[in-house]
A and B are shown apart, each in its own frame.
Chain A
């Protein structure tokens, strides 16, 4: 593991420790046996399960955003893509739901169909963003700012301000909200599993796939990458499509878990997603960022929100606390980076000196 992520992991563990100790405990009655037992408010299965589920949407999108940020771009439309993908999926699922015209269709068609609609819609939106960036040669900030409004507008027109509900249970309870028992506690592990799956793929891709290394090359120095013969345009196109795809995956989880979608879904998520990527170590200048960092960044932000509830901090102060801890986390991370660079510099200097001594 790189030192970078160890620093974030340290922040995460410190936060967890503070919440475990300061959050205190509470008494819970076992619904089966009726016995009362004491549990830690933070460090218990159902709270961690909810924390993982709440993190999953942002972490998955932050991984996509990190890919874009590594190339030196930005995707402001990620919240709107999430919304549009969710709305498309919701309309599809509503159609085949118990109150829809297609009720009774085989779940073997409906469930994969819904996944395909969500992920496909997200990917298509991302592809349009990529085409805008590559073909129009306009700064991604401007392109994605425009598409953000367009996608949200399309979602609004499609839904006519209606929330779509009543989805086939095979998609909700049977898949995304699939329940397992942990003692007498219900846990919903699917969002966590999908999040880990996306992270593992992204970590492998960025580290070991040739195209993954190209992404860093484009972000590090686009001109140099171009002159080295790298297909810069194709790489950018794929990166934006991937970002859209991750928004589609997050939308799919949201649909399955909450069982509804409307045109205000994902409002303001773009900032949370970019914040998670940046806390996770992605450099807005390009050339730097990791998928694991994005996951940890999203987890830190969600953990702060969870901590505010656990510690019963007045909700009016929540935004201040969240903002302050984000700044603190980034600051600690920067200190870590500086120390690492100094250590490396010292090591290089001592190596030089030892070589000089040898000669």
Chain B
């Protein structure tokens, strides 16, 4: 046997060993999960896969998850680690890759906000099949095997925004527009549907249109300015997404001339309330998204408890001028400033 032959045999043997080890690990995984469920593990890893790093609402969710992990670690006497795996920009394919990596890393539970439900569903199903508990937050994948969803009831949210806008506008004829954001986002489509359904209850309100744009503040603000200038008879905006309010470009609008009811109560939006350009905001509980995700995952994985409701909806409290200071304080905590 030549040295070359010996090297080849050794190489093949090495590969066979690696293969056998890999197989062994994969067959051991369900055992590890079983032991997790029976509470014998002392360390657990949960992961948050949000839509985009550049959106502050997800940073608040991250802080909420980390705070909840610290609290529950003490309470349950185990070590809970939270991993943060989020693409820089909306990218469903990247989210799939993160979920696959997390499964390989042995994560015990994953909470994901789906950029595109259809793209994410097969990856979620594969993760669940391999014994990982997966739930959705903020943006659901209802056709997948995720065990629950926590977040805003998007259709109801659309109803609330339009109902409040109708109340703010009062009697008389009104023309209303809706900024639409990304056409592919299921949660936004649901909000638009809710808003349009609600508008049908008000014969005095005409919907001029749903105006889509990139979910980038400057692009969204540019689109709204353009639409408002082309349609000066629009006297109400039902902002099911409030990207444009992250700029101060609309602050120059005469307060009260055009009525605005919008989603979220991010720091950049609060001056709009103070100045009276926006009449009411509805705050998604973004810190709670992360906090509740860890709670639900801990219940499922560590305590073996299923959630009371598969659709675990969060509140959508209204924010007015009077609450601005409170929310400014909240954001300091949520963003660890």
Q: Which of A's residues lie within 8 Å of B, judged by CB?
A: 26, 28, 41, 46-47, 50, 53-54, 152-153, 156, 159-163, 165, 172-173, 177, 186, 254, 257-260, 262-268, 305-306, 309-310, 312, 315-316, 318
Q: Which of B99-107, B137-145, B215-223 forms part of the interface with chain A? A: B215-223
Contact among A254, A258, A263, A315 for B211, CB-based, below 8 A: A315
In the complex with contacts A260-B217, A309-B227, A26-B249 CB distance below 8 A: no
From B251, which residue of chain A is reached at the shortest CB distance?
Answer: A259
Q: Report the 10 A-B pairs with minimum CB-CB distance, sorted nearest first.
A: A259-B248, A258-B247, A264-B54, A260-B247, A258-B249, A315-B212, A258-B218, A263-B54, A309-B230, A161-B59
Question: Can you list 12 A-B pairs, Cβ within 8 angstroms, ordered by A?
Answer: A28-B232, A50-B222, A156-B54, A259-B251, A263-B88, A264-B89, A265-B218, A266-B216, A309-B230, A309-B231, A316-B212, A318-B212
**Set of chain B residues within 8 Å of A152, measured between Cβ atoms:** 88
CA distance A268 to B215 in the complex (A): 12
Q: What is the interface residue range for chain B against chain A?
A: 35 or more
B209 touches A312 (CB 8 A): yes
In the complex, which residues 222-260 of chain B have their Cβ closer than 8 Å to any Cβ of chain A? 222-223, 225-227, 229-233, 246-249, 251-252
In the complex, which residues 149-200 of chain B have their Cβ closer than 8 Å to any Cβ of chain A? 180, 183
**Set of chain B residues within 8 Å of A53, measured between Cβ atoms:** 222
From A48, which residue of chain B is reached at the shortest CB distance?
Answer: B229
**Set of chain B residues within 8 Å of A309, measured between Cβ atoms:** 211, 223, 226-227, 230-231
A50 touches B218 (CB 8 A): no
Contact among A41, A50, A172 for B248, CB-based, below 8 A: A172
Least CB distance from A42 to B in Å reads: 8
Least CB distance from A171 to B in Å reads: 12
**Set of chain A residues within 8 Å of B252, measured between Cβ atoms:** 173, 177, 186
**Set of chain A residues within 8 Å of B211, measured between Cβ atoms:** 309, 315
B248 touches A260 (CB 8 A): yes
Q: Which of B's residues lie within 8 Å of A, judged by CB?
A: 52-56, 58-59, 88-89, 180, 183, 208-212, 214, 216-219, 221-223, 225-227, 229-233, 246-249, 251-252, 267-268, 335
Contact among A47, A172, A254, A260 for B229, CB-based, below 8 A: A47
Least CB distance from A169 to B in Å reads: 10
B212 touches A268 (CB 8 A): no
Contact among B56, B89, B249 for A257, CB-based, below 8 A: B249
**Set of chain B residues within 8 Å of A161, measured between Cβ atoms:** 53-56, 58-59
Least CB distance from A33 to B in Å reads: 16
CA distance A91 to B217 in the complex (A): 17
From A257, which residue of chain B is reached at the shortest CB distance?
Answer: B249
CA distance A161 to B209 in the complex (A): 31
A54 touches B54 (CB 8 A): no
In the complex with contacts A161-B59, A259-B249, A310-B230, A265-B88 CB distance below 8 A: no
